[in-house]
Amino acid sequence: MNEQTRHTKTLFALDVVTLAGDPDASKDFYAAAFGPLMSKSAGSVEVDMHGTGRFELASATTDDGSGGEGASSSFPGYVVTYALAQPSEVQAVMDTAAHAGAQVLKPAKKALFGSFSGSFRAPDGSIWKVAADSNKNKGPVAAAPRPTEISIILGVKDPKASRAFYQALGLKTDRDYGNKYIDFHPVDGAVRLCLMQRGVLAKDVGINDPGDGTGGLTLSHRAATNEDIEQLIAVADSSGSRSATPQAHEAELGSGHFADPDGFRWNLSTSK
């Protein structure tokens, strides 16, 4: 049995999204914009987005030499989609984010297929799209609107090729519209991973120049064992990873990282 076949039996998931910048300043912004649960640890802030995804706000320069470009006028290569129940909640979150220091890229308004959305650049440089499936309100605005789902859309060169890469790692495709849009089933309480062509994604949130960087973002998977990490590294390496490197962390722990075919970085570590 080869390494890839063995690994597909191990659950691979997007467990944590790390956004690089100034953790203290980012904490203040995200607290104002989204009102999540937060806890501070050494050099970073852990963020629970109301049970729909876990984020980490970390310094722009990380311990392993990776990191982010911080706030930038360019497109970072990804968009975080914050889905809400109705348009009035979208407008409320957009207004609060702008008041807290976000740069509005697209004001909230009716969009395609009866939806309602707007987009902004957070002070750390990340791009957020706030959206509702319907453009009709169903009730009063919640005091603190809570998301129904959070997705991170990676802007890639070839969504079909990226789909094959992530399927090899063990992700299961949910909606597949070829090179227009592809997403994967998330585990409970986690962010959904999605794929779109980079230029189309940038235009969707109001950015004309898609650029080619992936700064400020790290995706993390917490594996059960060191063997799982070794298998993931092997699969990523044989499936088109730009880099795949196991790293000894401590005698009883393991860690490693790889970059997908478009350069988006994944950190791997064993569960605590």
User: Could you tell me the pTM of the whole model?
Assistant: 0.90
pLDDT score recorded for residue 5: 40
**Segments of the chain scoring below 70 in pLDDT:** 1-10, 61-73, 244-253, 271-272
pLDDT score recorded for residue 43: 83
Structural domains in the chain plus CATH codes: 3-270 (3.10.180.10)
Rounded to 10°, the helix 226-238/159-169 angle is 150
pLDDT score recorded for residue 213: 84
In DSSP terms, 257 is beta-bridged to: 245, 267
pLDDT score recorded for residue 72: 53
